[in-house]
């Protein structure tokens, strides 16, 4: 019961924070629509997809996944803010233990990703042919995409030392995951090395499953996608628990090449009231 209450507390806090960071929330929602409008509409005039679907319809499943991916991963990676500004130590000091803390963060991040993806998904009737069954299947695919993205984000956060690395993570982790996934162009046309990377990229299977849901041509079997995403989620959680070093928050950080035993990073203070993630958020 202790662990469950802690998980509920962490999820409730993260969701409350998300809804109160208006600029971040609006930015997260605007991003997929801007891609749909700018990339989808623009490329629609020049790009021709082999399967014959218009480009904006081809790119739509990828944009739904993108909304979930960014929403979930950025929320999960924001753990690094809690690490730096003191709230994580409060969670780590609870009797619930590290797995419960990480599960709470993962569930909250997954729910944020799911909500952002669902808002884009609600626009499906405007862009792609849908039936209730297809929408239900897309929702299922979205749940898996959000869950696996949240865990991948948590895995990244487990080794991230400070908030200064946040923008780098977006450029070095998030964009490559998206671009090498078949979300924006088919993987079949990629050079062999990128195809290999795409096969190793969990987001590829999120997009592929979403294409299945919308009845588009896909590269892998549904079962293969589902198993890979469930496996990714489980393995990422296990790795995060293993790699997450709860003492790290209390050891301070390298400061001029020397650890500060009192754990202080700088001046006295609490967590940021509205983290700088707003400014860096993709």
Partner 1 sequence: MSATPPAIVTEGLGRDYGGVRALDALDLVVPMGALVGLLGPNGAGKTTAMLLLATLLRPTRGGARVLGHDVVRARGPVRRRLGLVFQETSVDGLLTVEENLRFAARLAGLGGPEMRAAVSMAIERAGLGSRARQPARRLSGGWRRLLDIARATLHRPPLLILDEPTVGLDPEHRELIWTILAAERRERGVTILFSTHYLTEAESADRVVLLSQGRVVADDDPSALRASIGAEVAEIEGPGAERLVRALRGLGATATVLRTERGYRVGIARDREAVIELATVAAGIERLLLRPASLEDVYFARTRGEAA
For position 108 contacting partner 1 by CB under 8 A, the verdict is no
User: Looking at 271, 278, 280, 282, which residue binds partner 1 (CB under 8 A)?
Assistant: 271
Query: Which residues contact residue 46 at a Cβ distance below 8 angstroms, ignoring those fewer than 6 apart?
Result: none
For position 92 contacting partner 1 by CB under 8 A, the verdict is yes
User: Looking at 250, 255, 276, 279, which residue binds partner 1 (CB under 8 A)?
Assistant: 250
User: Looking at 38, 274, 276, 279, which residue binds partner 1 (CB under 8 A)?
Assistant: 274
User: Looking at 132, 192, 223, 270, which residue binds partner 1 (CB under 8 A)?
Assistant: 270
For position 99 contacting partner 1 by CB under 8 A, the verdict is no
Closest approach of Cβ 24 to partner 1, in Å?
Answer: 11
User: Looking at 96, 103, 124, 163, which residue binds partner 1 (CB under 8 A)?
Assistant: 96
Q: Between residues 17 and 211, which has the closer beta carbon with respect to partner 1?
A: 17
Considering only residues 42 to 71 of the shown chain, the ones binding partner 1 according to CB under 8 A are none
For position 16 contacting partner 1 by CB under 8 A, the verdict is yes
For position 90 contacting partner 1 by CB under 8 A, the verdict is yes
- What string marks each residue from 219 to 248 as x (binds partner 1 by CB under 8 A) or -? ---------------------------xx-
For position 257 contacting partner 1 by CB under 8 A, the verdict is no
**Which of 136, 16, 121 is closest to 66 using CA atoms?**
121
How many residues of this chain bind partner 1 (CB under 8 A)?
A: 41
User: Looking at 234, 259, 276, 279, which residue binds partner 1 (CB under 8 A)?
Assistant: 259
Stretch that binds partner 1, among 55-63, 125-133, 185-193, 263-271 (CB under 8 A): 263-271
Closest approach of Cβ 267 to partner 1, in Å?
Answer: 9
Give one DSSP letter per residue of the chain, joined into a string: -HHHHHHHHHHHHHHHHHHH-HHHHHHHHHHHHHIIIIIIHHHHHH---TT---HHHHHHHHHHHHHHHHHHHHHHHTHHHHHHHSHHHHHHTSTT-HHHHHHHHHHHHHHHHHHHHHHHHTTHHHHS---HHHHHHHHHHHHHHHHHHHHHHHHHHHH---GGGHHHHIIIIIHHHHHTTTSSS-GGGS-HHHHHHHHH-HHHHHHHHHHHHTT---SS-HHHHHHHHHHHHHHHHHHHHHH--GGGGGG---BTTB--TT---SSS----SS-THHHH--
User: Looking at 21, 79, 187, 206, which residue binds partner 1 (CB under 8 A)?
Assistant: 21
For position 264 contacting partner 1 by CB under 8 A, the verdict is yes
């Amino acid at each position: 019961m202790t662990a469950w209450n802690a998980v509920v507390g962490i999820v409730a806090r993260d969701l409350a924070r998300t809804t109160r960071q208006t600029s971040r929330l609006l930015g997260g929602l605007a991003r997929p629509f801007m891609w749909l409008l700018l990339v989808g509409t623009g490329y629609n005039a020049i790009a021709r997809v082999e399967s014959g679907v218009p480009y904006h319809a081809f790119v739509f499943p990828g944009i739904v996944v993108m909304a979930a991916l960014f929403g979930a991963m950025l929320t999960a990676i924001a753990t690094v803010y809690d690490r730096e500004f003191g709230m994580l130590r409060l969670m780590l000091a609870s009797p619930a233990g590290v797995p419960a803390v990480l599960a709470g963060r993962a569930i909250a991040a997954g729910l944020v990703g799911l909500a952002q993806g669902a808002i884009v998904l609600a626009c499906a009737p405007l862009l792609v042919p849908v039936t209730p069954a297809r929408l239900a299947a897309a929702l299922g695919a979205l749940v898996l995409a959000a869950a696996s993205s949240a865990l991948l984000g948590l895995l990244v956060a487990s080794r991230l030392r400070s908030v200064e690395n946040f923008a780098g993570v977006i450029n070095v982790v998030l964009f490559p995951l998206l671009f090498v996934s078949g979300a924006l162009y088919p993987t079949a046309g990629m050079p062999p090395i990128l195809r290999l990377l795409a096969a190793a990229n969990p987001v590829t299977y999120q997009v592929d499953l979403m294409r299945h849901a919308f009845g588009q041509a896909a590269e892998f079997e549904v079962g293969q996608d589902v198993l890979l995403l469930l496996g990714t989620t489980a393995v990422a959680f296990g790795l995060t628990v293993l790699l997450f070093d709860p003492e790290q928050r209390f050891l301070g950080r390298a400061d001029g090449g020397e650890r500060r035993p009192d754990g202080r990073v700088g001046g006295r203070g609490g967590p940021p009231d509205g983290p700088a993630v707003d400014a860096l958020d993709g």
